[in-house]
Amino acid sequence: MERSALVDTISLLTTLDQNYLPQLQVLLTSLSLNNPGESICLYLLHSGIPEQRLAAVYRQCQALGYAAVPLRVDDGLFAHAPTTRQYPKEMYYRLLAPLLLPDQVRRVLYLDPDTLVINPIRPLWERELNGNLFGAAAHTGKTELANSVNQLRLGTERDYYNSGVLLMDLEAGRREIRPQALFRYVEEHRKELLLPDQDMLNALYSQRILPLEDVLWNYDARNYSSYLLRSGGICNLQWVMEHTAILHFCGKAKPWKSKYAHRFGILYRHYIQLTKRAWDIDL
């Protein structure tokens, strides 16, 4: 995409169920405080969150000057999709976003709701994808062994990319991504899948991914020591607070739960307090 064709409004996408709505509100708080004056349109793909549960998100977006576009996904698209309790239909949503979002949306930045935005994201939004479908980061450091295991498991030669932050060329995706390809892959490999949506991304599209710097755009909040060591001491806490844009709280342990032990948990708790204070909600 030519730089001149990029629109001013940053289109964000998230997919979630109602249990993650509080975390979405914390993410929006962090986004607004660290990206003042940005024009944001939030697209929320879901399978049936009640309107009353979405009301708090609407109010927050309205107060921040953001557009909010919730889109309930038609179950008919998944009539022949392999789904189970372990593999719900929602796992397909982010990769099928080109087909689920309005045609006039040309690119979108997908964020998992368990992320914080702590610096400007416009440099990522304006990144040229150079003909790729996605921009994504592979987590470095402690996960390099897992990288090799995942390459062997999925039969790929490139790094194993994390699907929690994706810059997506929707126009290219509409030409190339087919639901049946995703459904067929899950049907043929369901016994091998560990993180189904992430495995599909890597197995089917790893050759169409522009690598992003994880330390800037998808920082694994568990791995501070690894980032520090690999950078020769450069990526310390001060560096992260000044340069990293997106912190991602990967894994089962989450910073809004008790006994979270990793370094950036206290920062997340700070944004919880800011969100509670501003919007009078229970988190």
Q: Is the pLDDT assigned to residue 5 strictly greater than 50?
A: no
Q: What is the pLDDT of residue 145?
A: 46
Query: CA torsion sign, 146 to 152 to 158 to 161?
Result: negative
Q: How many CB atoms lie within 10 A of CB 132?
A: 18
Average pLDDT over residues 68-95: 89
pLDDT at 1: 43
Most confident segment among 7-11, 75-79, 148-152, 249-253: 249-253
pLDDT in tens, 96-143: 999 999 999 999 999 999 999 999 999 999 999 999 999 999 986 554
Q: What's the pTM? A: 0.92
Domain ranges of the chain: 3-279
* CA gap 21, 79 in Å, rounded: 27
pLDDT at 191: 80
> Across residues 150-172, what is the average pLDDT?
79
Nearest to 4 by CA among 126, 169, 120, 106: 126
Q: Confirm or reject CATH 3.90.550.10 for domain 3-279, answering yes or no.
A: yes
CA–CA separation, 115 and 117 (whole Å): 7
Q: Which residues have C-beta within 8 Å of that of residue 262, sequence separation ≥ 6?
A: 221, 222, 224, 249, 253, 255
When mean pLDDT is compared across 46-55, 188-197, 253-262, the lowest value belongs to: 188-197
* pLDDT(219) > 70: yes
pLDDT band at 41; cut points 50, 70, 90: very high
Contact 135, 245 (CB under 8 A): no
- pLDDT, residue 4, reads 40
Say if CB 135 and CB 38 are below 8 A apart: no
- Residue 155: what pLDDT? 57
Judged against a pLDDT cut of 50, whether residue 244 lies above it is answered with yes
